[in-house]
């Protein structure tokens, strides 16, 4: 039997809607099994017997893994994988992969665009032109904020954080960062606490991953430390922010403005944030270009192909990097 024939016999579960390009490749390479959502109650006896891989946007919890005793690999679409119970996957010898690198530059571009939108109020200025206010009322009011003379702090200096920092260097802005640990080879000022970083800067960009360790890390205390001229941008995970505290800080002038691409309960955005004129809000579009999503889809499927043909992953997450393919 050829490798191609071997792959055709492998059942890959694809819960809910998935990237069309990835679905097409899976259907041409494996035996795709569709399911309405990643719910163990929907797993059939045939799925229990045959499914060896999952390709998914959605979170995969412990119960879903337990429902599939022959599961070997979860190919998560995206760089963040906090919605996958990686601890349970590790305990059950299940490989988890994600799609890093291929979306780094796109997300960094979006972060810079969101920062400029937030500081210079560009979306509202465009609306001023489109609704005829420019012709009827004259020039759009001067923006209260500017990037000039700002000091930027980055919360989460991984691949995307470093790509954002490179762009900000070209703007001539000083950069500092907070991470779980100092990053070797970086000359930017390091702060060992998030509060220390917020106190040292007036512009805080969060690229931090989700999970228990970062849950509501950006809270009232951090926003107060950022100060009245402060600007907060989140391109990482909505769960890292206390959204009620952020809305209050924007409303009472604790900070000046915020730009958000991610939210705690997507697609539900708190009305308190929607009502604020000093919040620039995007519907989680950080990596949402056709070019980048296709590259993410290819890497997601390439991990499946590599695992089931060569018995190795291309981009394992650190927590399951040690997992070996079953004989």
Residue 325 domain-assigned? no
| Same domain flag for 42 and 149 | no
Catalytic residues: 237, 266, 284
Number of helical (H) and strand (E) elements in the chain, helices listed first: 14, 12
Buried b (16+ CB within 10 A) or exposed e, 57-87: bbebbeebbebbeebbbbbbbbbbbbbbbbe
Q: State residue 4's pLDDT score.
A: 86
| Six token digits for residue 312 | 């190795």
Q: State residue 85's pLDDT score.
A: 97
Residue 59 domain-assigned? yes
| Same domain flag for 119 and 199 | yes
Q: State residue 326's pLDDT score.
A: 86
| Same domain flag for 212 and 297 | no
| Same domain flag for 272 and 160 | yes
Residue 57 domain-assigned? yes
Residue 326 domain-assigned? no
- What does the DSSP assignment read for 24-61? HHHHHHSEEEEESSS-GGG--HHHHHHEEEEEESS-B-
The pTM for the full model equals 0.93
> Domain of 236: which CATH number?
3.40.50.720
DSSP state of 265: B
Enumerate residues 6+ apart whose C-beta is below 8 A from 229: 145, 202, 256
Q: State residue 45's pLDDT score.
A: 98
Residue 235 domain-assigned? yes
pLDDT by residue for the chain (327 residues), tens only, comes to: 688 889 999 999 999 889 999 999 999 999 999 999 999 999 999 999 999 999 999 789 999 999 999 999 999 999 999 999 999 999 999 999 999 999 999 999 999 999 999 999 999 999 999 999 999 999 999 999 999 999 999 999 999 999 999 999 999 999 999 999 999 999 999 999 999 999 999 999 999 999 999 999 999 999 999 999 999 999 999 999 999 999 999 999 999 999 999 999 999 999 999 999 999 999 999 999 999 999 999 999 999 999 999 999 999 999 999 999 988
| Six token digits for residue 126 | 């465009």
The H or E element that residue 148 is part of is none
Residue 327 domain-assigned? no
Residue 225 domain-assigned? yes
Q: Which of helix, strand or coil describes residue 173?
A: coil
**Tally of CA atoms within 13 A in the half-sphere of 20 that contains its CB:** 1
| Same domain flag for 248 and 300 | no
| Same domain flag for 269 and 129 | yes
Q: Are 263 and 269 in contact (CB under 8 A)?
A: yes
| Same domain flag for 39 and 171 | no
Q: State residue 311's pLDDT score.
A: 96
| Same domain flag for 277 and 129 | yes
Backbone φ/ψ region at 284: left (φ over 0), alpha (ψ -120 to 50), beta: left
Q: What is the 3-state secondary structure (H, E, C) of 52-111?
A: EEEEECCCECHHHHHCCCCCCEEEECCCCCCCECHHHHHHCCCEEECCCCCCHHHHHHHH
| Six token digits for residue 22 | 């990835």
User: Which residues pair with residue 281 across a beta bridge?
Assistant: 260
Q: Are 107 and 160 in contact (CB under 8 A)?
A: yes
Cα 192 from Cα 307, distance rounded (Å): 38
Q: State residue 58's pLDDT score.
A: 79
| Same domain flag for 110 and 81 | no
Cα 230 from Cα 226, distance rounded (Å): 5
| Same domain flag for 66 and 146 | no
Give whole-number Cα distances, 126 to 112, 118, 121, 261, 307, in Å: 18, 13, 9, 19, 48
The H or E element that residue 23 is part of is helix 20-29
| Same domain flag for 96 and 110 | no
Q: How many residues does the chain have?
A: 327
How many domains are contained in the chain? 2
| Same domain flag for 95 and 118 | no
Q: Are 239 and 219 in contact (CB under 8 A)?
A: no
Residue 303 domain-assigned? yes
User: Which residues pair with residue 17 across a beta bridge?
Assistant: none
The range of the structural domain enclosing residue 121 comes to 104-281
């Amino acid at each position: 039997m050829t490798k191609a024939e071997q792959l055709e016999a492998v059942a890959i579960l694809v819960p809910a809607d998935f990237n069309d390009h990835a679905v097409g490749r899976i259907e041409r390479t494996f035996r795709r099994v569709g399911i309405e959502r990643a719910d163990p109650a929907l797993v059939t006896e045939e799925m229990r017997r045959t499914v060896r891989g999952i390709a998914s946007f959605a979170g995969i919890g412990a119960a879903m893994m337990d429902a599939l005793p022959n599961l070997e690999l979860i190919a998560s679409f995206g760089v963040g994988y906090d919605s996958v119970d990686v601890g349970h996957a590790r305990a059950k010898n299940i490989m988890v992969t994600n799609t890093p690198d291929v979306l780094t530059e796109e997300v960094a571009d979006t972060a810079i665009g969101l920062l400029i939108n937030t500081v210079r109020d560009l979306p509202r200025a465009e609306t001023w032109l489109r609704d005829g206010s420019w012709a009827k009322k004259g020039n759009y009011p001067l923006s209260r904020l500017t990037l000039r003379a700002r000091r930027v702090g980055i919360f989460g200096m991984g691949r995307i954080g470093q790509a954002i920092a490179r762009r900000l260097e070209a703007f001539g802005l000083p950069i500092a960062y907070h991470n779980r640990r100092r990053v070797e080879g970086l000359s930017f000022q390091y702060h060992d606490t998030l509060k220390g970083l917020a106190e040292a800067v007036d512009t805080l960009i969060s690229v931090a991953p989700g999970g228990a360790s970062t849950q509501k890390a950006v809270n009232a205390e951090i926003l107060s430390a950022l100060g009245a001229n402060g600007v907060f941008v989140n391109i990482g995970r909505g769960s890292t922010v206390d959204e009620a505290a952020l809305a209050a800080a924007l409303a009472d002038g604790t900070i000046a403005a915020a730009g958000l691409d991610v939210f705690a309960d997507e697609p539900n955005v708190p009305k308190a944030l929607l009502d604020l004129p000093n919040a620039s809000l995007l519907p989680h579009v950080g990596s949402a270009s056709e070019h980048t999503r296709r590259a993410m889809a290819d890497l997601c499927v390439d991990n499946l192909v590599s695992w089931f043909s060569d018995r190795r992953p291309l981009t394992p997450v650190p927590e399951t990097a040690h997992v070996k393919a079953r004989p």
